[in-house]
Structure 1
């Protein structure tokens, strides 16, 4: 039997237990060396062998560290890692999918593969093709292994950015109940935004109202052996509830800042309506509102509706999970196992009241009964037309009489894995499994304006007369709309969907009985096959299908499709040299995977890696992976339709200057006429139309990922890792970007054919004006950086003192929007912009803990986000960028005997509020929500009873 060397133990200590991890507490100790060493499988390879050391950086997050962070939502836990950017989370309301997703390196949640016990988690529901980690109860996680680099050879498509592998507590013994409570507390004293709201006479909170955004959880776990130890069963049940928190409960989110961040903006869809009025040829535009004294129309004087307070800052959520793990040893050759889990999750996304949103130009006669004689005369005089002519009115009216919009989202996920493993010989074993996962989900959108009813209610030309039960919608009369009139104009849209994933996988792995002449350790290999099928169905009712709800920004059409893939894969680990000067061991690893997709044909991925133990305590590693991601169902089959994007039209009048930012010559390129130049209004909500959708001709993305690093343990008490990584992608599935199309046309005359303005020159009023922005294999990505970790453990004053550092430095984050157009490339490393998520060049977590090895432990953390520069000219508030942010956390754990333990903690002890940005940079509530600490101080406590 090959004996482990000191460096092997040091490396395994670093890689598997936590030195190369984001670990925040002292790592466990590797078992002492014996004649029989346990075979180990590490995320990133299926080869099991006695002396595995990973050639790729694998981070480990343990159950203890998860408990110390205090969060019960898995996405909040992993967002603490410097390598993770905020993706789908509870702090997104408008456009929320109701799911929680993970995004390694900021390459996108669809390029992060999520595994449970080494097997894929199915897609999350009707709005996302990525895995919903709500299915994973935090209390059941034994550890999380994170490989931040390509792993398509081992696990198949989607592992471009890396793999997050949740290892569950499937060997639990006994009975355990865990109950916890948490909440946020903040002192509202932001003088900047309070001053802006005072100028608008907006209301806002001051001081502190105590704890809000409360969350509660109860987890029950039980397990034990049976039949003389041949079998084992672990079962669990969990419940979690998070209360809602509105934007109006924080001063810094109590108004929606304008694009520059210098004033409280808002919507031109105000409680008192505003109107764009045109003659039939769109030659003249009038932007009017109602006179506050009831005397006809007056020119709009810039009043805006503060829609922010009623929006969710954090969505309410309630989740139930049930599950079990079972295994049984019939003999050494057959060991069947079973995993089963179920989740029900219900959340609601509330946003401000619906309205007419200038959605449609209503053709009206001058004899309309809703118009006063004065208003008729004003329109005739303003447009220069006669009483026999018709006019066109776009109406902006907020439905404050009817209350907020609400999207009720429900997800039900079921997953079962059945399989068996066993020994083929002393050196070889097999594993064969079948997996079925299904997620059914629904979206019930309530209290939104139902467009077809408005024509009749305002007496538009061609509509049925408003008689009988029809209540006229008296938008031309000051305060003329009643709750009853508003209520009859609202509607409900319903989406239902189901996604299924089936996987059959089988492989054999082991060691040959021979080695190279220059080494004593035998060659190891794995060979296997996999079949995978995805079927996705989303059924929209007629309301969603035709986009009849005015607050949706366009249709949400049904989506149906699927694909299957057949794969062969193999890996080999070849010890090349052992026990020579400066080469205690040198191992070559290689892998290959062939995939045949029913949609895009065959694809091949492969990897090569070197694992070089220089001498005791020092190891170098390097790897190359060819990764791929096949287009998902939505990218292939999504219907093409008009929707919204956040951005700006440089040819519309800048609200601050009153004139366009672009020149007449530039705007003529975009389809604007000379007569329209200077007469087109900007969207008050910074939202414009785009024509987007899927593309069945897409081919897989490809990526080359490289890593090179050093693992070292210079002293028994200190170990560290340094890893350089590089990811270069081609044929990226995406879009050029509606804003990029507009800017490129204005600046360079490119993509101008993709811009289609309406008759008035607008890209946001109605749906006739839009930017064509369809999915395609459009460009590339180049990401590179350095990850650093260190762990220091020392006995001190009768206890253990532990200090850990996990940091990541971003060198390059280059987007290549269009292949062959390097002038369009831009680098987001250390930058925030309309195109760039806030990406600090340096981000770290430094943790210091002390364990008395008796009944108490204490931990202090420093989470640091480096500063980012602002790349743009619009956001005055962020003109100097976002300053560096530091958050400090404290947590204490207490054990009372063998059966009782409790933990209390405070994250963001100093109650630091998130950095504020203007409307074009904000993801929600004037912040980069879910990335920086969003709601202030977070307090938590939990108690555990074990029997």
Structure 2
């Protein structure tokens, strides 16, 4: 495996070679002088080379966007002999060849004026307006949901980050780039790419390719690519203040952008700060635990989990119905069951739990470019994010609000029902009683979880021109992300130490009086999960013309890449010594490092088969582009992925395009490192209806199992085959555009956590999941904790797959079967659908108008959860994509005034996980309207010149989300966060002054 220092040396060598090559070039065109580019035009001309940017947004009324433009329109034409250097600052997603349009695939571009028109203040929210973006967990219907909100459960998103999920195939299947370059992953127990990489003030445009692109970019580009293009040319100073508020909370922010150009270079620097108030669940009727006013259930008390204002004895479990008994206020030692009052004084935990935690975010971006010679330029690009999130929840981070009173304690309640007692490890195996307490009193307030995150990325590069209009671009990136998945500083209870203090009579569990600092010190401490991700990348790309055909110039690009990824995870806790119930010392419980190196080679060929000058009937142009990429990973081998695309321009009115390719996603380092997360449950009595006689029964209908969960070293890459076909209509001079695309994706070898509950549920399932089932026959001489005496199959499995966390339920010698429920390459998803884009821009005596719409219709989505299993239609069901999503727009400008109106539509679907005992229901469609108003003053108009004032309202009519009552209601309330939000009307006011 290539070491980190070796990778750095290799990257430095690549750059040194590039410098030598550039220095040897005699002469080339001078880099064009920098120009003022406060705002990219919302729609560039399709068939002309890119010209210097037009007047800034402060010098004119902002262009009002309709449907998104294509990056082909942003990039200009691909005419033979076009000057590549003129386009060297133009980043075009989906190709490595400068000076050409992407071929075969449709690429959407959301330019700066369109971003501003939405009124959203971060790039993640802007992308959520695209119909192609879904918010469901992943294509398997489970796993982390990387969106903000839902602090109490996190949805597997412990770091409270954000990620984009194109097509609903999973955030890990969407590749996120900045200026066409990879960024460092974030996360702890699981990793993802944070979507809020740069502030809006630093953004030139966003480009989206919504089909496979591993032939260009390598791993992760299965459902598509998101590329943030930074602003690179701006002279002056721009200051923006903003405030966003809804009925629940407020977010304010400010940004500063400064830029300076000189004859041979330029620099632009952006800084942004944002401060978000917390939003507590109880403020929304959709997020309360008591949902009976909405037709739901009251989950303030749910089995052993309940919110109370006074200490309460919890009895039941193990098949016995739960019951609650209120303990007299400030009861003391010797309390008897007869003194208790049946029932509990319930409170709604939602009033102490944040849906959105308090958050502060600071971001910065820098771009610097300098010509060293007429043929050589260097650039430096860097961006930085520091985010601190603080979230409150009801109950202590470790024990919730249930504490244990061990038998023998002076506070053990005499005469309580036998079902209230159970053997518990926190009591040294002694019987225990469960007491629900008011955590606000007992633990001195709600539990607070911190999620600090800091990311920095620095790229240094060299570009140059070689003879015959060839270009070279080489760069080196170092990026680092540090985050705390779950950090509870000074509020993490050691349950065993607390039980010991209660047993010793030093803490009264029934008291409503807060404990002293000395008492807290005996059982309160800290729990942390710090993760450090490092990414090092060195790339060399060379592109230019090969020769000319009658249809134009054949162009190519080729190059290589060396990348290094490293994750270091460090867990620490004051719960490390629960075997010694008096020890509350903080200790590191897990310190794990894993890393990977990747060597890649890639090539691309653009061939203009027919050109406009050939006068071929019905063919104005016919262009073909073929790309291939080879990636070799240090930990699981190599993969090669091709892509081919073609665009047939019939005439100025119609063009037809199509593409085909394969893509892949490499397992994340967290997917394959058992020291990151793995868990074994040893001797768990598990329902066995398999009928298999080779699996011993512990007692009728149940077997004793060894269940292994978590990461899996043997994972392989996920794979996909994608193809698309479509056409574009753009009558010359009409201002009208229409595009339609059919896409088709088969996503195989998906990494999913297996549903272990199915393994032995029937003879058919036992056969289907046979590869994950291993019968065990421990001999009569088996001795617990001595693997040499186990069945060799069990001993070998434990030795080959040591678990980070072990939970003994019964002894290992009782085990009759191993159930391997680790993540596996098991699922296959098929999805196909249609995308439509249209816009019409026209001018009247009463201003400029723009009407547009974007629509995505998923035709089919099926899921095969395991090879050989049934293929299930999951489209329009809970946890899976909604088939119909759309966004329409109407824009108008007159002088300095502008208006934008948007209509958003999310289609209906079926609630397939209703409250137990209730039928499935149809969730109605959700429709909202957004409105934006702007007023801009030209920069040349005196002291107020360069002022832009905007007011944007999302969900103008204050629509509530559709009511969705599910089994998961205690975590997500009475709405589906994948397809709606609960904020109601959101108002954003922004004021910008450009100097």
Question: Per-residue deviation at 1:488?
Answer: 4.9
CA contact (8 A) 1:582 1:615 kept: yes
Aligned to 2:535: 501
Match of 2:271 among 225, 237, 241: 237
Give deviations 1:595-630, integer Å, cap 9, x for gaps.
111000111111111111122211111111111111
Query: Per the alignment, do residues 930 and 101 of structure 1 end up closer, same or farther by CA in structure 2, a change over 3 Å counting?
Result: same
1:588 aligns with 2:624: yes
Trace 1:723-742 onto structure 2 (pairs within 5 A): 723-738=741-756
Using the TM superposition, give the Cα deviation of residue 674 of structure 1 relative to its aligned residue in structure 2, in angstroms: 5.9
CA distance 1:772–1:286, shift in 2 (3 Å): farther
- The secondary structure found in structure 1 opposite 2:98 is coil
Tell me whether 1:23 sits opposite 2:81 in the alignment: no
1:342 paired residue among 384, 389, 394: 384
- Give the structure 1 partner of residue 844 of structure 2: 796
> Which residue of the other structure, out of 527, 545, 563, is the alignment partner of 1:532?
563
Identify the match of residue 146 of structure 1 among 203, 208, 215. 208
Change (3 A) 1:32 1:618: closer
Identify the range of structure 1 (439-448 vs 696-705) with the bigger mean alpha-carbon deviation. Answer: 439-448
Matched residue SS, 1:580:
coil
Could you say what secondary structure the match of 1:831 adopts?
coil
Contact map agreement 1:215 1:243 (CA 8 A) in 2: yes
C-alpha separation in 2, matches of 1:874 and 1:263 = 8
Q: Does 1:785 align with 2:833?
A: yes
Q: Which residue of 2 aligns with 1:129?
A: 191
Q: Check whether the contact 2:551–2:621 (CA below 8 A) recurs between aligned residues.
A: no
* Aligned equivalent of 1:514, options 509, 527, 548: 548
Task: Indicate whether 1:712 and 2:729 are aligned.
Answer: yes
* Alpha-carbon contact 1:258-1:919 (below 8 Å) kept: no
* 2:412 corresponds to: 371
Contact 1:21 1:60 in 2 (8 A): no
Moved more, 318-327 or 912-921: 912-921
Distance in 2 between residues matched to 1:863 and 1:223, nearest whole Å? 36
Shift of 1:410: 1.0
Shift of 1:938: 0.1
Q: Aligned pair in 2 of structure 1 residues 547, 908: CA closer, same or farther (>3 Å)? A: farther
Is the contact made by 1:573 and 1:588 (CA closer than 8 Å) also made in structure 2? yes
Q: Does 1:48 align with 2:98?
A: yes
Q: For residue 495 of structure 1, give the secondary structure of its aligned residue in structure 2.
A: strand
Which of 161, 166, 170 is the equivalent residue of 1:99? 161
Check whether the contact 2:914–2:967 (CA below 8 A) recurs between aligned residues.
no
Secondary structure of the corresponding residue to residue 196 of structure 2: helix
Q: Secondary structure at the match of 1:452?
A: helix
User: 1:236 offset after TM fit, Å?
Assistant: 1.5
Compared CA separation, residues 13 and 889, structure 1 to 2 (3 A): farther
C-alpha change, 1:70 and 1:714, in structure 2 (3 Å) is same
- In the TM superposition, what is the alpha-carbon distance from 1:157 to its structure 2 partner? 0.9
1:265: which partner in 2? 299
Report the CA distance between 1:895 and its aligned residue.
1.0
- Partner-residue secondary structure (3-state), 2:561: strand
Name the SS of the counterpart of 2:246 in structure 1. Answer: strand
Residue 592 of structure 1: how far off its partner (Å): 0.9
Pairing 1:528-677 to 2, within 5 Å after superposition: 528-543=559-574, 557-578=590-611, 579-639=615-675
| C-alpha distance 319-872 of structure 1, shift in aligned 2 (>3 A) | closer
Partner of 1:386: none
C-alpha contact (below 8 Å) 1:805/1:845 kept by paired residues: yes
| Cα gap change, 1:710 to 1:396, in 2 (>3 Å) | farther
Partner of residue 206, structure 1: none
The 3-state SS of whatever aligns with 2:115 is: helix
Q: Give the structure 2 partner of residue 686 of structure 1.
A: none
SS for the counterpart of 1:615 is coil
**C-alpha distance in 1 between matches for 2:258 and 2:473:** 26
Cα distance in 2 for residues equivalent to 1:616 and 1:670: 74
Corresponding residue of 1:435? 477
Deviation at 1:497, TM superposition (A): 2.6
Kept in 1, the 8 Å contact 2:758–2:765? The answer is: no
Q: Secondary structure at the match of 2:530?
A: strand
The separation in 2 between residues aligned to 1:13 and 1:728, in whole angstroms, is 37
- TM-superposed deviation, 1:924: 3.1
- The answer as to whether partners of 2:497 and 2:578 remain within 8 angstroms in 1 is no
How far, CA to CA, are the matches of 1:429 and 1:813 in structure 2? 43
- Partner residue, 2:888: 846
Structure 2 counterpart of 1:65, from 114, 118, 123:
114
Q: Give the direction of change, closer, same or farther, for the CA distance of 1:672–1:23 in structure 2 (3 Å limit).
A: farther
Change (3 A) 1:41 1:236: closer
SS in 2 for 1:252: coil
Query: Structure 1 residues 438 and 253 mapped into 2: Cα distance closer, same or farther (>3 Å)?
Result: same
What residue number does 2:146 align with?
Answer: 88
**How far apart are 1:134 and its partner, in Å?**
3.1
- Per the alignment, do residues 258 and 670 of structure 1 end up closer, same or farther by CA in structure 2, a change over 3 Å counting? farther
Q: Could you tell me how far apart the structure 1 residues matched to 2:92 and 2:754 are? A: 38
Alpha-carbon distance change, 379 to 131 in structure 1, aligned in 2, over 3 angstroms: closer
Distance 1:509 1:382, change over 3 A: closer
Gap regions ≥5 residues in structure 2 = 1-43, 55-62, 136-144, 329-334, 423-428, 582-587, 776-806, 811-817, 940-945
Is 1:422 matched with 2:456?
Answer: no
Which of 499, 503, 507 lines up with 1:455 in the alignment? 499
Whether the 8 Å CA contact 1:533–1:563 is kept in 2: the answer is yes
SS at match of 2:498: helix
1:830 aligns with 2:876: yes
**Partners of 1:705 and 1:430 in 2: how far apart?**
30
Offset, 1:903: 0.2
Which of 233, 236, 240 is 1:171 aligned to? Answer: 233
What is the CA-CA distance between 1:671 and the residue it aligns to? 7.7
Note closer, same or farther for the CA distance 1:479–1:743 as it changes in structure 2 (3 Å cut): farther
Task: Please report how far the alpha carbon of residue 359 of structure 1 lies from its aligned counterpart in structure 2 after TM superposition.
Answer: 11
Give the superposition deviation at 1:160. Answer: 1.2
Normalised by the size of structure 2, how large is the TM-score?
A: 0.76
Q: Contact between 1:787 and 1:807, CA under 8 Å: does it hold in 2?
A: yes
Q: Which runs of 5+ in 1 are unaligned?
A: 1-7, 186-211, 384-389, 460-465, 653-661, 678-688, 757-765
Higher deviation after alignment, 929-938 or 115-124: 929-938
Shift in CA distance, 644/410, structure 1 to aligned 2, threshold 3 Å: farther
Matched-pair contact (CA < 8 Å) for 1:11–1:53? no
- The answer to whether the 8 A contact 2:666-2:716 is kept is yes
Tell me by how many angstroms 1:929 deviates.
2.6
User: C-alpha displacement at 1:307, in angstroms?
Assistant: 1.9
The normalised TM-score by structure 1 is 0.80
CA separation of 1:723/1:238 partners in 2, compared to 1, >3 Å: closer, same or farther?
same
| Cα 1:745–1:164 shift into 2, 3 Å | farther
Contact 1:101 1:133 in 2 (8 A): yes
CA contact (8 A) 1:793 1:802 kept: yes
Distance 2:938 2:696 in 1: 73
1:893 corresponds to: 934
Looking at structure 1, the residues matched to 71 and 182 of structure 2 have their Cα atoms a distance apart, in angstroms, of 30
Q: Alignment partner of 1:708: what SS?
A: strand
Q: CA deviation at 1:347?
A: 0.8
Task: Say yes or no: does 1:444 pair with 2:480.
Answer: no
For the residues of structure 2 that align with 1:889 and 1:940, how far apart are their CA atoms? 11
Cα distance 1:104–1:300, how it changes in 2: closer, same or farther (>3 A)? farther
CA gap 1:73/1:349 in 2 versus in 1, 3 angstroms: farther
Of 120-129 and 485-494, deviating more is: 485-494
Name which of 706, 709, 714 aligns with 1:692.
709
Shift of the 411–755 alpha-carbon distance from structure 1 to 2, 3 Å rule, reads farther
Structure 1 SS opposite 2:130: coil
> Corresponding residue for 1:759?
none
| Counterparts in 2 of 1:240 and 1:931: CA distance versus 1, 3 Å | farther
State the distance in 2 between where 1:739 and 1:136 align.
43
Cα-to-partner distance string for 1:615-650 (whole Å, 9 max, x where unaligned): 2211111111111111111001043767799xxx9x
Partner SS for 1:848: strand
